[in-house]
Chains A and B, each alone.
Chain A
């Protein structure tokens, strides 16, 4: 160590005469070279996948236009042969909303079918060009498909949550449950939490943390609901059980009064 220090001290007077910026220029040159190379690589990558992107857009545009044409033709053709009237004559009372007549439905299905076909062909064309673009990070494209799947899961989960929340709310109100809104909200958040956990799991984000957090949240909501319903309806349940015990024999023999009010017959 002492030898090394001696060598450094001896050599330093000679080196101090050299200009300091000579090494700096070299660093800038290296950085510039690295940046140029990176830019070159990215541009090369873009150029290599550009045909794929163009093919994707072209396929989508062509098939969308084609779908529009076929849809319009179907709409006119079916209107010409009075398809809706014929269907209602042969199939009877079908519950078609005005905006979803059979003709409109067929035209829409054909249009979106062509759009979907264009998407599939475009993606496969893009995939072919992607295979040659070896410099693209290998996880990017699969991750995009996961994002699409996660978005679909999120939409479906939100719709299911809304449907179930409304069903529970209406059912609970008709059963005269005072905590109807609370119950409905509980069901809604249960489904939303489940959906969020599924989405994150699908995206492979969070790992064990998501599963753990989901378990805690889900269990917490269920426990809260159980406690709230159990404590809130304790009297109701006991009254119901008592009246069932007393009138179990009578019920089978007498016609039901069908709702609130003792001497009321709704039907």
Chain B
């Protein structure tokens, strides 16, 4: 995986012959759309860029941009299978050279970052250009706790945001994702998230990660209900991992580490969030969900949770290997359908909140959040042999 420095200046790309860049905008509010279009005008002042948006736009509203209509899409905080299917369809129809998919908050990205994403896929050989956001502290925690470490450990990819909403795609990558999206649509799961990193890694495509700077506002789910969104995202990733088991069980070398992101300035000024409600949920869950957890977790993990349940808020630290094993055990239980999958992922939520509380405690003690997240990801890598063994011989390792 290649990694580039933050795009410092806008340079014209050597566009692939025979087509132009197709920019597919997500469904967004009029204000967001206006900002995104202004950003695109600044990013591509000279070249003809094709912009597709599900919102109705006058064709000559932003002169350098050629506006086309995209299929109507539901406003979503993440890219869904339907988005990838329509992206490929539009690119095919308009003979585009590459695709740039931009999410609802793309107006907050620097023009140079948008340009860099486009350049990465317009100039061979990158197939998937992924942004690396610099988020405020304590943001994107599901990604840091589950999505990034799992993707890194199993697919040997250092992409920090596997579920990024701003992507650059080559045509063959778009075709591949469209195929995956088509299969999901056939199963009536058109609104489910798709995992481009996993698809690109399995296909052997080139992935490029680009630092795009600080992003204050990332698209958020419409509802504040963690108990709905976390099972949806984790369940989707678990299913994708299950489908690609033959690939990730083989040993793969992780690309060299990239430079850690700097701590956002806000980190030093923001007070640490109150972890008491999270600990309360975890302790309540320990006394009520122990029976369900014991169906999924081995005795050593249960012992670790027992110790945590009696630890005070100030000393509350979840060891990284324990968290890695918990996630791997839930992944395996998801595969084996030990209990109903909705129940399983619901029972993961208090454990995730315990991890969040631990993460906040660690960062409050002065440790760089990014360092802790890297340590968690390293623990997942170290425990990969555990999940491979249990995946292959679940009964032998049955707790």
State whether these chains interact. Answer: yes
- Choice from B142, B270, B277, B339 contacting A267 with Cβ under 8 Å: B142
Contact B288 A169 (CB under 8 A): yes
Of B277, B285, B292, B349, which one neighbours A261 at CB under 8 angstroms?
B277
Q: Is A92 an interface residue (CB 8 A)?
A: yes
By the criterion CB–CB under 8 Å, are B227 and A260 in contact? no
State A169–B350 Cα separation when bound (angstroms).
13
For A93, give its contact among B136, B239, B273, B277 (CB under 8 Å): B239
What chain B residues lie within 8 Å of A92 (beta carbons)? Answer: 180, 182-184, 186-187, 243
Question: Which of A98, A176, A265, A267 lies in contact with B284, CB distance below 8 A?
Answer: A176
A97 to B288 Cα, complex, angstroms: 28
Distance from A165 Cβ to chain B, minimum over Cβ atoms (Å):
10
Any B CB within 8 A of the CB of A262: yes
Complex CA gap A184/B285 in Å reads: 13
- Complex partner residue of B220 from A167, A173, A265, CB under 8 angstroms: A265
Let me know if A178 is at the binding interface, CB within 8 A: yes
Taken residue by residue from 172 to 204, chain A's Cβ proximity to chain B (1 for < 8 Å, 0 otherwise) reads as: 111110101100100000000000000000000
With A97-B337, A255-B217 in contact, is A169–B224 under 8 Å at CB? no
Q: Which residues of B have CB within 8 Å of A97?
A: 335-337
A263 touches B340 (CB 8 A): no
Best-surrounded residue of A163, A171, A255, A266 (most CB of chain B within 10 A): A266
Contacts of A98 in B (CB 8 A): 335-336
Report the nearest A residue to B270, measured CB to CB. A263
Interface residues on A, range: 35 or more
Q: How far is the CA of A180 from the CA of B285 in the complex (A)?
A: 9
Contact B142 A262 (CB under 8 A): no
The answer to whether A260 and B230 touch across the interface, beta carbons within 8 angstroms, is no
A170 to B291, CA, bound (A): 11
Q: Is A95 an interface residue (CB 8 A)?
A: yes
**Given the complex, which residues of B lie within 8 Å of A172, measured CB to CB?**
288
Q: List, in ascending order, chain A residues with CB within 8 A of B340's CB.
A: 163, 166
CB A120 to nearest CB in B, in angstroms, measures 31
The B184-230 residues at the A interface (CB cut-off 8 A) are 184, 186-187, 217-221, 223-227, 229-230
Question: Considering the complex, which residues of chain A in the window 150-176 have a beta carbon less than 8 Å from any beta carbon of chain B?
Answer: 163, 166-167, 169-176
Across the interface, do B140 and A262 meet the contact criterion of CB distance under 8 Å? no
Please name the residue on chain B nearest to A166 by beta carbon.
Answer: B343
Q: Determine whether the beta carbon of A170 is less than 8 Å from that of B230.
A: no
CB distance from B235 to the nearest CB of A (A): 10
Q: Contact check, B277 vs A166: say whether CB atoms are below 8 A apart.
A: no
Among A91-118, those with CB < 8 Å from B are 91-95, 97-98
Q: Which residues of B contact A171 (CB under 8 A)?
A: 227, 346
Q: Report whether A265 and B270 are in contact in the complex, using a CB–CB cutoff of 8 Å.
A: no
In whole angstroms, how far apart are the Cα atoms of A263 and B364 in the complex?
13
Q: Is A259 an interface residue (CB 8 A)?
A: yes
A264 within 8 A of B: yes
Interface residue B356 (Cβ < 8 Å from any Cβ of A) = yes
Bound together, the chains give a CA A257 to CA B360 distance in angstroms of 15
Q: Distance in Å from the Cβ of B201 to the closest Cβ of chain A?
A: 16
B289 touches A169 (CB 8 A): yes
Distance to closest chain A CB from B291 (angstroms): 9
Cβ contact within 8 Å between B218 and A259: no
B23 to chain A, nearest CB (A): 24
Q: What 0/1 readout, one digit per residue, does chain A (227-267) give for beta carbons within 8 Å of chain B?
A: 00000000000000000000000000001111111111111
Known: A259-B224, A260-B281. A265 touches B275 (CB 8 A): no
Residue in B closest to A174 when the chains form the complex, CB atoms:
B227
**A93, B277: Cα distance in complex, Å:** 38
Q: Contacts A92-B187, A170-B347; is A176 near B292 (CB within 8 Å)?
A: no
* B interface residue numbers (CB < 8 A to A): 77, 135-136, 138-143, 180, 182-184, 186-187, 217-221, 223-227, 229-230, 233, 239-240, 242-243, 270-271, 273-275, 277-278, 280-281, 284-285, 287-289, 292, 335-337, 339-340, 342-343, 346-347, 349-350, 353, 356, 360
Other than A261-B277, A265-B140, give 18 A-B pairs with Cβ distance below 8 A. A91-B187, A93-B183, A98-B336, A163-B340, A170-B346, A171-B346, A184-B288, A255-B220, A256-B220, A258-B226, A258-B229, A262-B274, A263-B138, A263-B271, A263-B273, A264-B360, A266-B229, A267-B218
The 6 closest A-B pairs by CB, nearest first: A92-B183, A256-B224, A260-B277, A170-B346, A265-B139, A259-B226
Return 13 A-B CB contacts under 8 Å, by A number.
A92-B182, A92-B187, A93-B187, A167-B346, A173-B281, A174-B226, A180-B284, A256-B221, A260-B277, A263-B271, A265-B220, A267-B220, A267-B221
